[in-house]
Amino acid sequence: MTHSRTLLALLAATTCLAGPAAAQEGETLKIGLVFTLSGPAAVLGEMGRDGFLLAAEEIGDLGGLATEIIVVDDEQKPDIAANKARELVERDGVDIVVGPIFSNILGAIQKPVTDAGAILISPNAGTSNYAGAECNRNFFVTSYQNDQMHEVMGAYAQEQGYDNVFLLAPNYQAGKDSLAGFKHSYTGGVAGEIFTQLGQLDYQAELAQIAAMQPDAVFAFMPGGMGVNLVKQYRQAGLETIPFLSAFTVDESTLPAQQDAALGFFGGSNWAPDMDTPENKAFVAAYEAKYGKVPATYAMQAYDAAHLIDGAIRAAGGVADKEALIAALETAPFTSVRGDFSFGPNHYPIQDFYLTEVVKREDGNYATSVVKKIFDDYQDNYVGDCQMN
C-alpha cells in the first residue's frame, strides 16, 4: 500500500524562537505516523492518526520548523510494519516516528527505527520489555505501560472484595500484560483464565463457561471489534448481573457500536472525555467538531505526542542535535490534556489513573466518564529494570 503525505508547512521556518535554543534557519522536520488503518481495528489507528493531525493543524509548524508528516498503514501485520518503518527512516529520512497502536507492531518497528538513529514515540502500545530491560534512549511512550490500565481494575476488584474473577484476553503480548497487570493489584481467586485467538469475534464458548461458573466479576481486555462483539454477546447471554470490568473494551472506539449494551460497564483508564482540564475541554470540543465523534484515549495520547514533539523541538532548538532533543523530550515540555504528566527514567509516563463508567450523554453520544481516581502519580513496575544507555 502506498503511503500518503500530508504537508503541514510549505515554507521553512525563518523566524527566531524565543530563548537561547533557536531552530536553524531552513531546518525541516519529517515525522512518520505508523498506525493500523485497515481491517477490523482501523478505527483505533484512525483515532491515533486524527488526534495527531488535529494537534499538528492547531500548532502549525511543529517546533517552529517546516513540517512534513508521512502517514503509513501497518495493516496490523508485523512484517509489513517493519518494512514500512525502515522505509520511513532509511528512504524518507524521518526524524521521528509516531506509532503504533498494537504491541506486536511495536515489537516489529522499535529496533528498525531506533537503530537508524530516529526517535520513536508510541502513543499507545507500551509493552513491559521496553519499560524495563530493553528500554531505549530513542524510545518514548505517551500512553502508559500496558499493565497499568489493568492494574486499575485489579485494584477496584480488590477494593470491592471480589474473590472469584473470570479473566479473558487475546493471546498476544498486550493480552498477557493485561492479565499480569490485573493480578498485580488483585490477590483474590481466579474462576477461570482464557487467552482467545487475536481477532476472535465469537465468544459463545467462553460465555457459556462464565454462565456455568457464576464468578463474582469478569475482567476482559478485548480492544476494537473483539470488544464490540464480546459486550453485545455478554448482554445477549443475560450475564449483565455479573459485574463487567475491563480496559480498552468499552471505550469511545467501541461504544458507537455497543451503545446500550455497554451502559454501566466499568473501565480503567488514564483519561476520559469529561476530564476537567482546560486543555482537555478544548481538545474534545475540537476533535468532535472536526471528526464528528467522541475521541478515545488513542486520539488523546497521539494529540499529546504532537504537543510533546512541539515543545521538545522548541526547547532543543531543532532536530539536528539528537542528544539535545532527547534531553528535551525527557522533561515533557508540554501540558497534557489529562493533567499530571512526567516521564520516568525509562521514558514511560508517570500519571494518574481512574475508574471510568460508560454513560449516555445528553447529546445522545456514548462515552466513558470518570468515577474516581484509583492511582495518583503512578509509575510502572518495570522501571527498576531499565538501565538507560
Per-10-residue mean pLDDT of the chain, 389 residues long, equals 40 30 70 95 94 98 97 97 98 98 95 98 95 98 94 97 97 88 96 95 97 98 92 97 95 95 97 97 98 97 98 97 98 97 98 97 97 97 93
Which among 371, 354, 349 has a CA at the least distance from the CA of 149?
354
Where would I find the H helices in the chain?
Answer: 42-59, 78-86, 103-115, 128-131, 147-160, 173-185, 204-213, 225-236, 255-258, 278-291, 297-316, 322-330
Q: Please give the Cα distance from 263 to 277 (Å, whole number).
A: 25
Inter-axis angle of helices 297-316 and 42-59, to 10 degrees?
Answer: 40
Q: Which long-range contacts (CB under 8 A, 24 or more apart) does 102-105 make?
A: 102/36, 102/41, 102/74, 102/76, 102/172, 102/174, 103/127, 103/146, 103/172, 103/173, 103/174, 103/177, 104/78, 104/172, 104/173, 104/174, 105/34, 105/36, 105/74, 105/76, 105/78, 105/81
Query: Which position has the grid cell 495518583?
Result: 376
Q: pLDDT value at position 1?
A: 40
**All 3 cell numbers of residue 211?**
454462565
Q: pLDDT value at position 219?
A: 98
Kindly indicate whether the domain formed by 147-269 is annotated with CATH number 3.40.50.2300. yes
Pairing of strands 266-269, 349-360: antiparallel
Q: What is the residue extent of each domain of the chain?
A: 4-144+275-351, 147-269
CB 182 within 8 A of CB 151: yes
Q: Please give the Cα distance from 220 to 167 (Å, whole number).
A: 6
Kindly report the number of other CB atoms within 10 A of residue 292's CB atom.
Answer: 7
121: left (phi over 0), alpha (psi -120 to 50) or beta: beta
Q: For residue 346, how many C-alpha atoms fall within 13 Å in the half-sphere facing its CB? A: 24
In one-letter notation, the amino acid at residue 373 is: K
For the domain 4-144+275-351, what is the CATH code? 3.40.50.2300
Q: Please give the Cα distance from 149 to 156 (Å, whole number).
A: 11
Q: Please give the Cα distance from 74 to 71 (Å, whole number).
A: 10
Q: Please give the Cα distance from 339 to 283 (Å, whole number).
A: 13
4-144+275-351 matches 147-269 in fold: yes
CB 108 within 8 A of CB 79: yes
Dihedral sign (CA 20, 23, 26, 27)? positive
**Paired residues of 357 in beta bridges:** 266, 369
Which among 186, 196, 187, 192 has a CA at the least distance from the CA of 153?
186
CB 120 within 8 A of CB 114: yes
Q: pLDDT value at position 307?
A: 98
Q: pLDDT value at position 25?
A: 59
CB 359 within 8 A of CB 263: yes
Q: Please give the Cα distance from 273 to 275 (Å, whole number).
A: 6
Kindly report the number of other CB atoms within 10 A of residue 187's CB atom.
Answer: 10
- What 3-state DSSP class applies to 35? strand
Q: Residues 6 or more apart from 34 whose CB is under 8 A from it?
A: 72, 74, 81, 84, 85, 88, 97, 98, 99, 100, 105, 109
**All 3 cell numbers of residue 340?**
499530571
Alpha carbon separation from 30 to 298, 331, 380 (Å, rounded): 22, 22, 31
